[in-house]
């Protein structure tokens, strides 16, 4: 009996893979994944497929956007810049929550869904998916109104990245 690959079975396979990869990240860098661990993770090609650097410049973000992964060139091998809103610089402990969500884009490109991002990030942080999602929403809701400086923000902040 042959097994036919369907869109649904491919989706389930990708979700299982991102969960497994997230668990691998947790095993290597958890349970307290902070900025030092995030820096090491971004250099670990067994967990992050392509080179990835952090940038804390909101000019590359859309209004209300907390982060996104931007390709550095035409090919994924050229690497990515992970732009994170500088409003979070005063709280480096939350930056991994934001960065991990977008690492599925680095690793899987357009095939990864928001659900896959939640599965990967929550697994990498060792959190229940719903708790991770609520935390991410709370963090996104903290963004300042467009055109205002967040309290404690300093221009040129690098957040140690």
The pLDDT of residue 149:
39
Tell me the percentage of the chain whose pLDDT exceeds 90.
75
Helices 129-141 & 95-108 angle (0-180, nearest 10): 110
Q: Helical H runs in the chain? A: 7-29, 35-43, 95-108, 114-125, 129-141
Q: What is the pLDDT of residues 51-72, one digit of tens each?
A: 999 999 899 999 889 999 999 9
Tokens of 26: 């947790």
Does residue 128 register a pLDDT over 60?
Answer: yes
**DSSP state letters, 28-64:** HH-SS--HHHHHHHHH-TTTSSS-EEEE--GGGSPTT
Cα separation, 126 vs 119, whole angstroms? 10
pLDDT higher than 80, residue 102? yes
Please state the length of the chain.
161
| Banded model confidence at residue 3, pLDDT cuts 50, 70, 90 | low
Q: How many CB atoms lie within 10 A of CB 72?
A: 15
pLDDT band at 110 (very low <50, low <70, confident <90, very high): confident
């Amino acid at each position: 009996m042959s097994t036919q690959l369907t869109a649904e079975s491919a989706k389930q396979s990708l979700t299982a893979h991102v969960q497994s990869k997230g668990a691998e990240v947790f095993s290597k860098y958890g349970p307290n994944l902070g900025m030092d661990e995030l820096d090491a993770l971004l250099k670990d090609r067994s967990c992050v497929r392509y080179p990835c650097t952090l940038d804390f410049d909101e000019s590359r973000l859309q209004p209300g956007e907390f982060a996104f992964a931007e390709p550095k060139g035409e090919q994924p091998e050229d690497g990515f810049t992970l732009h994170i809103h500088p409003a979070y610089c005063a709280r480096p402990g939350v930056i991994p929550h934001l960065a991990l969500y977008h690492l599925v884009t680095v690793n899987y490109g357009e095939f990864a869904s928001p659900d896959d991002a939640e599965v990967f990030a929550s697994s990498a942080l060792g959190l229940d998916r719903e708790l991770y999602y609520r935390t991410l929403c709370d963090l996104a809701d903290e963004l300042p109104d467009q055109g205002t400086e967040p309290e404690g923000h300093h221009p040129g902040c690098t957040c140690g990245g």
